[in-house]
């Protein structure tokens, strides 16, 4: 275990496992629980860094796999790393590429040495070892790096899950040994499929190696919500209390509320940005599909409880018109709103934990939800 954790725990709920804390990174202090907008290719789609700052985003994601393929980590390093390249002075977390390689399926081959795969862009042969994953992320200059892991499909039998989890442990050790830039934090990733005991054992194995934080990987891969929540609930208490807990690739507003209830500090998901481009907006009363004809003459903002740029300035009728006209501004305004909603939700969650009223907050959150 590392001598000093970058995470500080400020308060805990007396009603559940919710925690209020902060993570210290080289680009500042991130208040948790936190949602991290996803910026796969060095940009959070359809918004500028200034938009992100205005809505209160503290930390964003970059994607090792995509940036490794294009434009290349060596080029990004010449521009002062990802921060300089994309003009973002907040914190950045980069994932290791494990999930993207897992998603390639027939284009990838996993061996003890690492992952051999073909570029999804031009089909060229590429290889990423655990050491390469750390080296690429160190070149990108991210504040938080992730170890290279092997994702487990769902469903997976016990033997398949155990073999993949054991390989992730061996890769995690190699990542830790390759980690030379200690001002960049390195998080371990707990795997174990849908087997509670395997996840507990893997959490212990990673703590033995010692990381700057711990993530739950391999969830939201096709299993039911109940199973995802069960695995989170079974694993989180076995992660050290004085280190960050990150639930990777999750999820809906409900998932954030439930994840925090079970002791998670950090989340990321493409859902708010992707849904914005598809015309699905998150509001304090539930989801709204902007293309629906009922909004054709609707003067109201998307959400009367929202103070984002979009809600302060535009009607549902105008946003519906933009969406149907396939105007680029539609993506921009919808994305600003959805990300603001997520960032604001996390702010409300932090306040509720501080005031030890998270159960009431959760109840109120569900009480407001309606269906269109």
For CA atoms 359, 55, 39, 322, the dihedral sign is: positive
The continuous run of DSSP H or E covering 177 comes out as: helix 158-178
Q: Which of 143, 212, 255, 268 is catalytic?
A: 268
Which of 225, 223, 283 is closest to 259 using CA atoms? 225
Q: How many residues does the chain have?
A: 372
Q: From CA 27, how far away is CA 49, in angstroms rounded?
A: 15
Q: Which residues contact 197 (CB under 8 A, 6 or more apart)?
A: none
Q: From CA 350, how far away is CA 294, in angstroms rounded?
A: 35
Query: Are 144 and 58 in contact, with CB atoms under 8 Å apart?
Result: no
Q: From CA 55, how far away is CA 252, in angstroms rounded?
A: 19
Measured in whole angstroms, the distance separating CA 368 from the mean position of its chain's CA atoms is: 25
Q: Which of 95, 132, 143, 149 is catalytic?
A: 95
Q: From CA 75, how far away is CA 326, in angstroms rounded?
A: 34
Query: Are 150 and 102 in contact, with CB atoms under 8 Å apart?
Result: yes
Q: Which residues contact 194 (CB under 8 A, 6 or more apart)?
A: 154, 155, 156, 161, 223, 227, 231
Q: From CA 302, how far away is CA 279, in angstroms rounded?
A: 12
Other C-beta atoms within 10 Å of 3: how many?
5
Which residues are registered as beta bridge partners of 288?
Answer: 281
Which residues are registered as beta bridge partners of 127?
Answer: 116
Does the annotation count 356 as an active-site position?
no
Query: What is the DSSP secondary-structure string of 197-214?
Result: HHHHHHHHHHHHH--SEE
Does the annotation count 268 as an active-site position?
yes
Catalytic residue IDs? 95, 268
């Amino acid at each position: 275990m590392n001598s000093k954790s970058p995470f500080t725990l400020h308060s805990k709920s007396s009603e559940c496992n919710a925690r209020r804390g902060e993570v210290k990174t080289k680009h500042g202090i991130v208040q948790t629980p936190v949602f991290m907008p996803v910026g796969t290719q060095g940009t959070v789609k359809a918004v500028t860094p200034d938009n992100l700052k205005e809505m209160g985003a503290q930390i964003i994601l970059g994607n090792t796999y995509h940036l490794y393929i294009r434009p290349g980590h060596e080029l990004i390093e010449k521009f002062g790393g990802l921060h300089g390249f994309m003009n973002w002075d907040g914190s950045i977390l980069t994932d290791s590429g494990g999930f993207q390689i897992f998603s390639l399926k027939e284009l990838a081959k996993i061996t003890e040495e690492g992952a051999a795969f073909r570029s999804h862009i031009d089909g060229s042969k590429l290889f990423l070892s655990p050491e390469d994953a750390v080296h690429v992320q160190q070149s990108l200059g991210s504040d938080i790096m992730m170890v290279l892991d092997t994702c487990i499909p769902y469903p997976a039998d016990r033997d398949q899950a155990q073999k993949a989890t054991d390989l992730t442990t061996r890769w995690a050790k190699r990542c830790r040994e390759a980690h030379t830039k200690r001002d960049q934090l390195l998080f371990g990733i707990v795997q174990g499929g849908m087997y509670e005991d395997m996840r507990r054992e893997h959490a212990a194995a990673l703590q033995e190696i010692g990381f700057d934080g711990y993530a739950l990987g391999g969830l939201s891969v096709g299993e039911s919500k109940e199973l995802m929540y069960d695995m989170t609930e079974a694993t989180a208490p076995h992660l050290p209390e004085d280190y960050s807990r990150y639930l990777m690739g999750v999820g809906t507003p409900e998932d954030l509320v439930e994840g925090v209830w079970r002791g998670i500090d950090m989340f990321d998901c493409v859902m708010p940005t992707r849904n914005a481009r598809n015309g699905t907006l998150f509001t304090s009363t539930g989801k709204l599909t902007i293309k629906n004809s009922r909004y054709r003459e609707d003067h109201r903002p998307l959400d009367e409880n929202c103070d984002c740029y979009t809600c302060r300035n535009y009607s549902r009728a105008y946003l519906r018109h933009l969406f149907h006209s396939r105007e680029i501004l539609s993506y921009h305004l919808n994305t600003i709103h959805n990300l603001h909603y997520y960032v604001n939700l996390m702010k409300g969650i932090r306040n509720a934990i501080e005031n030890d009223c998270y159960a009431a907050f959760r109840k109120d959150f569900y009480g407001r939800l309606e269906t269109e």
